Structure 1
């Protein structure tokens, strides 16, 4: 899989990140990264000659639009927009089950699962006062139902997700918390959903 260029200007590069690819890595032997693909002579991207400043992050399993700044100044300006929530991000997802509403606001706090605090740093939603997650912070996701159907005979729903806040794994945690885990999300399905070839979460904008 290759990294597709969607837009390029003097200050920014916007690419389509494939699923199951890291953004970057401290391991010099890891070549399956956006950074390595852009630096490749075959990429034909002028930004391969400049240091890359990732304005946003996408999980390894998530595909879609990724904004990269070519300079520290551009990165700082874009970062301020994200920090002030003056940007709009949208994701398409396929979730397990049929969601029985048209629009939903999911507002569970998101924190660290204490059982994984020293390993994978899996997150969890604080669905009640008895929830044991640590370092929880306010989190808000808006969900719009687009279509219902079947995947391999099982009910699924196509949804548009808008993260109002930006917590780690927020969309995946929130979908799981309402009983509609994202299709192919091995981590937040308690390692049960391992048959699809990918996790069905894509950053569209």
Structure 2
């Protein structure tokens, strides 16, 4: 199932993606703040939530929700990207100077980022170094793919836990169980959809990833979360951690 407002993504059933949300309900939603000073606001972005909407779209986004939380802040400046379906750490700058400094750090790959994901199947090895180039998929205007002529891309994968995930299929409402692994991901490079493409490439796509699972797991969200971030600012390093939304999600047996 796809949503025409966001080509290539699954239609979301989350609170944050409901475009018919009433103004009263929207007022009751807040974005968790992880860090705040006079230069930066760092939040725990909800899954299935845009950073900002096109002009003709009045649905909830990170920026529209923060505008309600911080009506005295005239503008929130984006300094990096985080996919619509991905949750976790997102950095916003509050001044032009702060935006310039942080943007440069992200652009030059000086920011250390760590993600958590639940992937399909049990990985055989405990750690992986995936080194596969990535390019646009000419057969799809949203997806990326492994391509020898693409841009270099490297991801470090560490298995944290192996187990089973029990969920209710959003379409059939049936209870299902699947073997999964919880992994920590460290992107060495920062290509579009890099983590999602690399995990698909090794045969363990992210659970709930409509675009990269060959057999789509119709669960409540895509299981990818920006968990930790180190921002090496001139004034000192910022080390940020967002709570783990997958804590306790895995079962030790399929029963």
Which of these residues, 186, 190, 196, is aligned with residue 210 of structure 2?
186
TM-score (norm 1): 0.88
Which of these residues, 138, 157, 161, is aligned with residue 143 of structure 1?
157
Residue in 1 aligned with 2:144? 123
Residue in 2 aligned with 1:163? 187
Residue in 2 aligned with 1:72? 96
Are 1:32 and 2:60 matched, yes or no?
yes
What secondary structure, in the 3-state scheme, does the structure 2 residue paired with 1:49 have? coil
Query: What is the root-mean-square deviation in Å for CA atoms of aligned residues?
Result: 1.5
> 1:15-67, CA deviations, whole angstroms, 9 ceiling, x for partnerless residues?
01000000012233232210100011xx2x36x52211111211110000100
Which of these residues, 192, 197, 200, is aligned with residue 220 of structure 2?
197
1:73-92 matches, within 5 Å, as 73-92=97-116
Show structure 1 runs of 5+ residues with no match: none
What secondary structure, in the 3-state scheme, does the structure 2 residue paired with 1:204 have? strand
CA distance in 2, matches of 1:27, 1:124: 30
Residue in 2 aligned with 1:54? 78
Show structure 2 runs of 5+ residues with no match: 1-15, 17-29, 167-176, 229-255
Residue in 2 aligned with 1:176? 200
CA distance in 1, matches of 2:204, 2:159: 12
Whether contact under 8 Å (2:119, 2:182) holds in the other structure is: yes
